[in-house]
Amino acid sequence: MSAEHVVEVEGLITRFGTVEVHRGLSLRLRRGEILGVVGGSGTGKSVLMRTILGLKRPDAGRIVLFGEEVTDRPAGTRGLLEQRIGVLFQDGALFSSLTVLENVLVPIREFHPDLDDDLARCLARLKIAIAGLQEDAAGKYPSELSGGMRKRAGLARALALDPEVLFLDEPTAGLDPITAGAFDELVRTLAKALRLTVFLITHDLDTLYRVCDRVAVLGEGKVLIVGTLEEVEAHPNPWIQRYFLGPRGRAAARARMA
């Protein structure tokens, strides 16, 4: 694996019973980039992320993180590698019985149990602020937050351990256009300021055009193409043409140029 790549997937095969989701899928995530991952329903975008993270074991293939093969090592057994990765699941996946502050403290206390409590809380509040939440949000429960605030709270937790790579699963799903746009700008700003590498699953064309450096399109059990938006738009696959060059795609492209 090249030092340029922080995640490498080779020949991935994943199945659910007799259903084969990935059929020899290969993909590399470059250090410092924001990679958008798109595809039609059932193409295995979230399954790919969960497999990389060790939450699902592949049926075949190799997964390499930071130059270290982790194919047969499930989540929770990857040691220091897990501290180098942050994850934002859909809708934040917050613990409903914990406040925002307590949610952000969970990974800090798990990986740094000897850290002084006041310092841990200070660090957690810093992450909450970095995610764009007001100070009073720290004491609120997920049920008391708007959809956009829950996403930001989940992002704060994902950033708790100062990760190098951030995995985002549909981060703007369910948000109104203004809130989604603000979240996109936040991701772009944080990626640059914190030197993050981002693996971003989305179906939102505005997000792709606003945020991503490259795009990987999943289909037929593999990566159909990975490249810049201009390279992806030129691909002859019918789904890609409808998705990127249809009315919605053209509007997103024009908005980027405005």
Let me know if residue 242 belongs to a domain.
no
Does residue 124 fall inside a structural domain? yes
Q: Which residues of 149-166 are buried (b: 16+ CB within 10 A; e: fewer)?
A: bbbbbbbbbbbbbebbbb
Distance CA 96, CA 91 (A): 12
Assess contact for 209 and 255: CB atoms under 8 A. Answer: yes
Task: Tell me whether residue 125 is in a domain.
Answer: yes
Q: Is residue 215 part of a domain?
A: no
Q: What is the pLDDT of residue 1?
A: 44
In a domain, 205, yes or no: no
What is the domain count for the chain?
A: 1
pLDDT at 257: 58
> So what's the pLDDT on residue 76?
82
Residue-level pLDDT at 256: 65
How many CB atoms within 10 Å of residue 25? 25
Note down pLDDT in tens along the chain; length 258 residues. Answer: 456 999 999 999 999 999 999 999 999 999 999 999 999 999 999 999 999 999 999 999 999 999 999 998 888 888 889 999 999 998 778 999 999 999 999 999 999 999 999 999 999 999 999 999 999 999 999 999 999 999 999 999 999 999 999 999 999 999 999 999 999 999 999 999 999 999 999 999 999 999 999 999 999 999 999 999 999 999 999 999 999 987 666 666 666 655
pLDDT of residue 85: 96
Q: Please check whether residue 126 lies inside any domain of the structure.
A: yes
Q: In which domain, by residue range, is 110 found? A: 95-163
CA distance 133 to 182: 12
Q: Is residue 175 part of a domain?
A: no
Structure tokens at 129: 């602020």
Prediction pTM value: 0.93
Residue 173: inside a domain, yes or no? no
